[in-house]
Amino acid sequence: MAEIHHSQSTYNYPPLSTTRQNPEPASRQMAKTATAVTAGGSLLVLSGLILAGTVIGLTIVTPLFVIFSPVLVPAVITVALLATGLLASGGLGVAAITVLAWIYRFVTGQHPPGSDQLLTARHKLMSKAREIKDYGQQQISGAQAS
């Protein structure tokens, strides 16, 4: 195997303690730390309160879900099916309009994207159909001659 030789760097990096030219005063660092701890602690307390509220809310609402589940489950299924149908019909409508616009541009000779590929495929199919037709006529004439 080939060995990889690493050349040692010729850079002399200064020690980390001397890389800062203007160190911040201790009071400024303390203020930043105090602000960060206060903000972090506040967000932690807020997330704990939200978690507790969620648990309490689910505890209160769960019996209502059980009582109304014969109505809620079919309602949710119906709403989901309606939303899916509307999204599907909208998407297919947009696709249909796009295809119709492409066909219109192709027919009017504006050469939309992909029209060259369509023409190439059309010519290949026509030439293959001609070959098959000629082959079939040769087979028929050969069978009649024998």
Quick: pLDDT tens for 4-61.
555 555 666 555 555 555 677 888 888 888 999 999 999 999 999 999 999 999 999 9
Q: What is the pLDDT of residue 14?
A: 57
Q: Whole-model pTM?
A: 0.45
Say whether pLDDT at 98 is over 80.
yes
Q: What is the pLDDT of residue 24?
A: 73
Domain map of the chain by residue range? 114-146
Say whether pLDDT at 1 is over 60.
no
Say whether pLDDT at 115 is over 60.
yes
DSSP of the chain, one letter per residue?
Answer: -PPPPPPPP---PPPGGGS-SSPPPHHHHHHHHHHHHHHHHHHHHHHHHHHHHHHHHHHHHHHHHHHHHHHHHHHHHHHHHHHHHHHHHHHHHHHHHHHHHHHHHHHTT---TTHHHHHHHHHHHHHHHHHHHHHHHHHHHHHHH-
Q: What is the pLDDT of residue 100?
A: 94
Q: What is the pLDDT of residue 25?
A: 82
Q: What is the pLDDT of residue 21?
A: 59
